[in-house]
Each structure stands twice: as C-alpha cells, then as structure tokens.
Amino acid sequence: MTSQQHVVVIGGGLAGLRLAGRLGADATVTVLGEETHLPYNRVLLAEVLAGRYAPEVTTLPAPGPALRRGVRAVRVDRAERRVRCDDGSTHPYDALVLATGSNPVLPPLRGLFEPDGRDLPDGVHAFRTMDDCLALDRAVTARPDLNAVVIGGGLLGVSAARALAERGVRVVLAQQGTRLMERQLDEDASALLHSHLGELGVEIHTECRVRGLTTRADGAGRRVTGVELAVGLHLDADLVVLACGVRPRTGLARAAGLDVRKGVVVDDALRTSDPRIHAIGDCAEHAGRVYGLAGPALEQADALAAHLTGAAAAGSGPPRYSGTRALTRLTLSRGPRPLDLAAFGETTARPGDDVIRLSDATRRTYRKVVVRGDRLVGGVLLGELSTVGALARSWEGDEPLRAHDDLSHLLTDDGGS
C-alpha cells in the first residue's frame, strides 16, 4: 500500500478507530462516525450508568481530523468506489472498511411499537450506546425510586441490572433462559451470580418470557407503565431496559451486494466478497463466527492494518487473521462485597473431559477449568481473578499440558503470579 491510497472506514467505534490509529501515516484515512459524541469505549457504559465514571472517562484517544462525527453512510457504490452519506457528501476509496458494529435486538413484544410506528414508548430503552446510557441516567437522577424491569439475563442485562440497583432503583430482571449468562457460565457459576445480584436487591426471574408492555398516553406520545409476562403476571414498570442481545449491522453490506450470513463474511485477510472492501468488529463474520466482543475487534483491526500496510515479518508472507480466543470479564460492583467474573472457552464439560474445581463458600470464590485430552479448553472464575492471566495464557497458547497438577497449581493464588 502506498501513502497516496485512501482508506475509508465506516464506523467510529473501538475497531474503526484502532484501525485508523494503526494505519497512521501509511494511508490517508477518513473515518465516518454516525454518533455525535466523542468516540467512547462501549465496554464502560455500565460504569457510567452505575455512577462510578463520568462519561468523559470513557473517551477514546482523539483520532484527529480523520474522524467525521455525526455523518451516516447511506450507500456504498462499488462500481465508482465511493461512499455516499446522509449529508450529501461522497468519499472515494481505494480500500473500504466496514466497522459498522451491531444493533440491539428489539424483541417482538406487544405494545412495543404502535401499528406502523418506529418510536419506543417513553421509559423504554435499549442499552447499547452512550445516548441510551445518558437517557437512563437522566431518568434515574430525576426519580431514584423507579421500578425498572430489565429484559434479558446475558452480559448486557446483568450489567444494566447491577448498575441500576447500585443507583437505588428497584430492579426486576426477566431472563427467558434457565440461568443468567448461560452462554458464558456453567450452572454453579451462574447460581453464584444469581445470589450476588439478589443481595444487591435485584429480583430475578429465569425461564420467564415477557409477552408485552402496557402503556398510557403521555402528552404527544406513550409512556410505559408495566410489563406483561407470559404466565399472566403483570409487573409495574416506570423504566424498561431491553437487553436481549445484539445483531450485526449489515444493511450497507447487503445493499451493496456483499456476501452476508450472520454477519458480513470475511476471509483470513478480513476481505469481503469484494476484495477492495473489508469488515472488522461486531459486523464481521469470520470462519462462521461473529464475536461481538472488544478483544476480537481490536485483534481484527490490528491484523487488517498489518495486511493493508504489508507489515509482516520478513519471510512470513501476507499477514493473516486466524480467529480470536475471546475472554469475557465483568466487574459486578465494588465495596465490601465485590464480584469479579471471567469466563473463556467451553465452560460446560463434554463426556470424557476432565474438570478441576476450587470453591470457597466463605470467600465466595469459584474457579473451574475444563481439560480435553491434554488441552485446556475453557474455564470460569468468580470472586477472585488472580489466576486468570496464567489460565488465559495457557488456553490461548493451545499447548499440551504437562500434567493435571499443573492446572491445580494454576487455580491457586500463587499460580497466577
């Protein structure tokens, strides 16, 4: 790639800005960011909602003039190699990168939308963007004695419920699955998480399907008044948080005729079906997988920057992205009873796997690793993460284990030093 080539990045989030920073002076870069806020770290939104961080603490390093804020790309013209935006501007590219992220999933609830309407009732919010976070913060600040219902017991729902509870809000969490964070945690770890949130005052209902919302007329619009459960119960609600997961944002790619399945399909060079267009982050599907986490998005940005600039080690050939082993971490409150969580890989054992557990009911810690043959394939830790670094290195390296007592050592505090 020469310095005269122009890279256009659609998306001003973590992945897009990381790529722009890595390209540096090796390319002329334009980043099109739809949000008007300064770029921020989405991972920290729960900390803002909990009142621990001011919004400006989440700000990412300034990208300089490369970033155009408040500009939405509406069309990719592949024949002319141009991106057209909602403000009438057009941006030619030699290489185009889709870093469009994901949208929150809005469940098909009765009363969520009016016929042919697209506006959520007042008091109903997703929990995905800084605007979502600030709207929730304003509602809680104006009335701390709110009744809130969080729909969804995954990572987003647990984070939102914990943050609201720490602000003094009465919170009910409704999870359709059998346990909290069922994608990341086994039954024992999920039970500990359930207990911890309960101590914060969160009322939790698992195997609980929400059927609809009740609303009342409020000036020119509607305001939520409650949540109806499929079992016939009604929960009063001044605030409803939709935390039902996210979906890759692929509309631009589909309209441009690119190959889209769960996400925008990319190869090991993070190229789409058009070799001049790449995709990274939450919108990208690599080897059949959409990650939806910050770690893989950053690794993809680094790999793509190396590919576009040809920054490969001598004799190693073109840089390739071979996937990311993603680790989930979450801090669930501070103070005298904090709970930190980390999970990676396969936390539920298959027949024939070896499982090693260390549990301390008094200290409320839980550590577990799953071994398949001579490989560490997953683990989960709650309450004490001093060993997570050593475990993650062993898992990410995918190297044969010498003996199972090595893992016993890793599960103790001195093993993580």
Most confident range, picked from 145-149, 334-338, 368-372, 376-380: 145-149
Q: Name the pTM for this structure.
A: 0.90
Q: In terms of domains, do 300 and 263 share one? A: yes
Q: In terms of domains, do 204 and 278 share one? A: no
Report yes or no on 48 lying in a domain.
yes
Q: What is the pLDDT of residues 134-150, one digit of tens each?
A: 999 999 999 989 999 99
Q: In terms of domains, do 179 and 252 share one? A: no
CATH of the domain at 180: 3.50.50.60
pLDDT value of residue 315: 47
Q: What is the pLDDT of residues 234-262, one digit of tens each?
A: 999 999 999 999 999 999 999 999 999 99
DSSP secondary structure, 86-144, as one string = TTS-EEE-SEEEE---EEE-----BTSS-TT--PPPBTEEESSSHHHHHHHHHHHHH-T
Q: In terms of domains, do 287 and 387 share one? A: no
Of 290, 309, 328, the one marking the end of a domain is 309
The 10 Å CB-count burial string (b at 16+, else e) for 221-238 is: ebebbbbbbeeeeebebb
Residue ranges making up the domain that contains 74: 6-103+247-309
- 316, two tokens: 């190693």
Q: In terms of domains, do 136 and 223 share one? A: yes
Mean pLDDT over 24-53 rounds to: 92
Q: In terms of domains, do 220 and 233 share one? A: yes
Of 207, 229, 244, the one marking the end of a domain is 244
Most confident range, picked from 272-281, 350-359, 393-402: 272-281
d(C-alpha 129, C-alpha 252), whole Å: 20
Choose among 266, 265, 301: nearest CA to 281: 301
Q: In terms of domains, do 170 and 200 share one? A: yes
Report yes or no on 118 lying in a domain.
no
Q: What is the pLDDT of residues 273-310, one digit of tens each?
A: 999 999 999 999 999 999 998 999 999 999 999 999 88
Q: What rounded mean pLDDT belongs to the chain?
A: 90
Report yes or no on 119 lying in a domain.
no
Q: In terms of domains, do 148 and 209 share one? A: yes
Report yes or no on 314 lying in a domain.
no
Q: In terms of domains, do 218 and 136 share one? A: yes
Cβ atoms < 10 Å from Cβ of 8:
23
What domain count does the chain have?
3
- 6, two tokens: 């122009």
Query: 340 vs 119, 235, 367, 382, 409, CA distance in Å?
Result: 36, 30, 12, 6, 21
Share of the chain above pLDDT 90, in %: 68
Surface-to-core class of residue 85, CB atoms within 10 Å of its CB (0-12 exposed, 13-18 middle, 19+ buried): middle
Of 266, 287, 309, the one marking the end of a domain is 309
